[in-house]
Amino acid sequence: SHGSFFLRVGAIAFGLATMIYNGLEFGEFFEIPFTSPCYQVLRGVNPLLQMMFTFMQMYFIFMNSRLNIHRFKVIARFGLMHIVATNLCVWIRTLVLESLKEITGYLQKRNSTVALTTPTSSVVRNLNNDFAILATEPPVFWDEFAESPLAPAALVSANRTPIDPQTCGRVNIMGSIVQDSAPYLFPFIIEYSLIGAAVIYVMWRHIGRHARYQGEEDLEQRLEVILSRRAVALAHANAGRVDCVGASKGLFFGLLLLVGSLICLILFFVLVHHPQLGLLAIYLADVSHCALMGLSIIAIIIGFIRVQGLKFQGEEQSDLNDILQRVSAFGLFVYAVFSVIAGALTALTSEPNLLVMITGNLSVVQVVLQLLFIADIARRRVHLPEHDRSKPGRQIVTFLLICNVTMWIIYTFETQKVIANPVQLDFYG
């Protein structure tokens, strides 16, 4: 199988969010009149094409999870690799736009603050030497995308003002909904592109492999019939009952942790814009993140102990799972390492730097331990009746599942914000 059922359901969820953003982009296209110099047909065509590509790939992934291609192999390899490249391009483009949006907002706030607090324009220019390139005439392609809320032309320099929507005769239909929803929908586009690229790449690798013979196919069909009958019998026997045995404690402890993290997240966004309480918001975010990592590490260690009694089988693992785990772990590892570097220089004299360094170190340890735990538990099997009754490790796995969902929410809506990383911002600029 080129991806589990839950992975395919996740791809559908992320794909639907991607299509919602494409629909908003397409609606924004109608704000620019035909007679405007900023009008371009590609602004309306690109969102439609991306929406069609997203839907077709979503359907293809969900319906062809067991596809093995044995005919027209050259064409299949070319087509699938082209789809992988397309997903990577969408992924990189979205990352760049997301970073550009954060940098643009930071520069606008910085320059507006400098303009209000500095009496002379000469001092303003001295304070903005690092961004002197922004004060020059923008490149040609900036003007072409001037009306996009994520366009580089939206950057503000010391001698320029933000682009007025009326410059291109723009009719206010969508308002600021695209710009306001972008920080929440961009992570879904990134996740969907990553899942799509990984699944299609695994399909590409399996082109021409495991050729089937008639005898093997007949045997497999007979086995599928037997297994399906057995599954139907078990379904009737367990009708109306959800099996949560051995997972209730981990589930509710995880939900408690999720609620606490969401409360801290809400308080962060409420306090971070307050002039006197901004530093408290940063402390709250770092402490809650540090506590989450610490509890996750403890749970992983307990999980290692609990699953030792299960039988270990060293069969080959799924390529798709390995790709997704390593790519995501690499990103977290790089972010944590850079955070540790930024916080380690003055960790003994500054509390925020110390918190950043501790959280970064815990993140590295958590990523490494969780990768090892997943690799180990994926090869464990039940082989005794008492294991089937006690279900060792199920509590821990359920708790870690909710922990990872909580971490995804934090990394998506809090950590990516420039204002949530003052230590890293002061160090790297």
Q: pLDDT tier at 222 (50, 70, 90 boundaries)?
A: low
**Together in a domain, 259 and 159:** no
Interatomic CA distance for residues 14 and 49, integer angstroms: 17
Asked if the model's pLDDT at residue 357 lies above 80, the reply is yes
Model confidence pLDDT, tens digit, residues 84-129:
999 999 999 998 888 887 777 767 777 766 555 555 444 334 434 4
Identify the CA nearest to 408 among candidates 323, 338, 313, 332. 332
**Together in a domain, 162 and 259:** no
The pLDDT of residue 227 is 55
User: Does the residue 223 lie in any domain?
Assistant: no
User: Does the residue 308 lie in any domain?
Assistant: yes
- Of 325-329, 379-383, 416-420, the range with the highest mean pLDDT is 325-329
Model confidence pLDDT, tens digit, residues 161-191:
444 445 566 666 666 777 777 877 888 899 8
**Residues forming a β-bridge with 311:** 381
**Together in a domain, 310 and 369:** yes
Tokens of 154: 């939206």
Domain stops at, among 179, 196, 213:
196
Q: pLDDT tier at 307 (50, 70, 90 boundaries)?
A: confident
By percentage, how much of the chain surpasses pLDDT 90?
A: 10
At CA 415, angle to CA 374 and CA 189, rounded to 5? Answer: 70
Model confidence pLDDT, tens digit, residues 2-45:
667 778 888 888 888 899 888 888 888 887 787 877 788 888 89
Asked if the model's pLDDT at residue 363 lies above 80, the reply is yes
User: Does the residue 211 lie in any domain?
Assistant: no
**Together in a domain, 182 and 258:** no
User: Does the residue 214 lie in any domain?
Assistant: no
For the whole prediction, is pTM greater than 0.85? no
**Together in a domain, 126 and 260:** no
**Together in a domain, 259 and 374:** yes
Angle subtended by helix axes 278-306 and 248-271, to nearest 10:
160
The pLDDT of residue 221 is 56
SS (H, E, C) the chain: CCCCHHHHHHHHHHHHHHHHHHHHHHHHHCCCCCCCCCCCCHHHHHHHHHHHHHHHHHHHHHHCCCCCCCCCHHHHHHHHHHHHHHHHHHHHHHHHHHHHHHHHHHHHHHHHHHHHHCCCHHHHHHHCHHHHHHHCCCCHHHHHCCCCCCCHHHCCCCCCCCCCHHHHCCCCCCCCHHHHHHHHHHHHHHHHHHHHHHHHHHHHHCCCCCCCCHHHHHHHHHHHHHHHHHHHHHHHHCCCCCCCCCCHHHHHHHHHHHHHHHHHHHHHHHHCCCCCCHHHHHHHHHHHHHHHHHHHHHHHHHHHHHHHHCEECCCCCCHHHHHHHHHHHHHHHHHHHHHHHHHHCCCCCCHHHHHHHHHHHHHHHHHHHHHHHHHHHCCEECCCHHHHHHCCCHHHHHHHHHHHHHHHHHHHHHHCCHHHCHHHHHHHC
The pLDDT of residue 87 is 93
Cβ 69 vs Cβ 76: under 8 Å: yes
**Together in a domain, 67 and 174:** yes
Domain stops at, among 196, 230, 264:
196
359 versus 349: which is more confidently predicted?
359
Model confidence pLDDT, tens digit, residues 190-212:
989 998 898 888 888 888 776 54
Asked if the model's pLDDT at residue 389 lies above 90, the reply is no
**Together in a domain, 144 and 253:** no
The pLDDT of residue 132 is 41
244 versus 114: which is more confidently predicted?
114
CA 7, distance to chain mean position in Å, is 14
* Number of structural domains found in the chain: 2
Distances (CA, A) of 177 to 20, 24, 28, 172: 12, 8, 9, 11
User: Does the residue 172 lie in any domain?
Assistant: yes
At CA 392, angle to CA 386 and CA 398, rounded to 5? Answer: 140
Interatomic CA distance for residues 344 and 341, integer angstroms: 5
**Together in a domain, 279 and 404:** yes
Tokens of 63: 């319906």
Cβ 182 vs Cβ 101: under 8 Å: yes
Q: pLDDT tier at 228 (50, 70, 90 boundaries)?
A: low
The pLDDT of residue 173 is 66
How crowded is residue 202: how many other Cβ atoms within 10 Å of its Cβ? 20
Chain mean pLDDT for the chain: 74
Q: b or e along 92-110 (b: 16 or more beta carbons within 10 Å of the residue's beta carbon)?
A: eebeebbeebeebbebeee
The pLDDT of residue 144 is 42
**Together in a domain, 183 and 259:** no
Interatomic CA distance for residues 393 and 308, integer angstroms: 9
Model confidence pLDDT, tens digit, residues 142-162:
344 444 444 433 333 333 444
Structural domain harbouring 325: 245-428
Question: Picking from 66-75, 89-98, 309-318, which range would have the lowest pLDDT averaged per residue?
Answer: 309-318
